[in-house]
């Protein structure tokens, strides 16, 4: 367990911590981003729906137990924000360090909610994306 629970003043802070923990394969830091007092839900690419802290934690433990480390870059980020919630959608690009291998991109929807102790992750739904990037967001990059 982490000695002190981190506090995320914005949903962007929570998201940055999530992907930083993922890149470092740090299970404790990753789980600290999730909401504590709520049921949480998580879908990993090709996997079943995971419900509740224990199931979500066990799935990520297995992901990290494989020992693979990824570099992660994000793109096409869209944030749909409310006062008490924030829905983020983005593309994750996972790379295997040391190689030029880049896995196919993943589309993720992340839902954050604002609680007494800042923003936390409530839902993460990730699934394989087709190889091509959406044109709408590519436009904004040029």
Where on the chain is the footprint of a copy of itself (CB under 8 A)? 38-41, 43, 45-52, 55, 76, 78, 80, 82-85, 87, 89, 91, 107, 109, 111, 113, 122-123, 125, 127-130, 132-134, 136-137
CB 89, min distance to a copy of itself, A? 5
Instruction: Considering the complex, state which of residue 29 and residue 137 has its C-beta at the smaller distance from a copy of itself.
Output: 137
Q: Least Å distance between CB 24 and a copy of itself?
A: 26
* Smallest gap from residue 130 Cβ to a copy of itself (A): 6
- Using DSSP bridges, classify how beta strands 71-81 and 49-51 pair: parallel, antiparallel or unpaired: unpaired
Measured CA to CA, the distance from residue 29 to residue 137 in angstroms comes to: 30
Contact 107, 93 (CB under 8 A): no
Most distant CA pair in the chain: distance in Å? Answer: 44
DSSP structural state of residue 130: P
């Amino acid at each position: 367990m982490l000695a002190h629970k981190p506090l995320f003043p914005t949903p962007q802070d929570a998201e940055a911590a999530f992907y930083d923990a993922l890149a470092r394969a740090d299970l404790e830091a990753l789980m600290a981003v999730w909401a504590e007092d709520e049921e949480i839900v998580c879908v990993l690419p090709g996997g079943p729906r995971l419900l509740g802290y224990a199931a979500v934690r066990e799935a990520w433990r297995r992901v990290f137990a494989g020992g693979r480390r990824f570099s992660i870059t994000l793109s096409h980020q869209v944030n749909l924000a409310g006062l008490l919630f924030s829905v983020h959608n983005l593309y994750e690009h996972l790379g295997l360090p040391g190689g030029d291998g880049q896995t196919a991109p993943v589309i993720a929807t992340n839902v954050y909610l604002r609680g007494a102790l800042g923003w936390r992750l409530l839902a993460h739904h990730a699934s394989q994306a087709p190889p091509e990037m959406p044109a709408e967001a590519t436009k904004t990059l040029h």
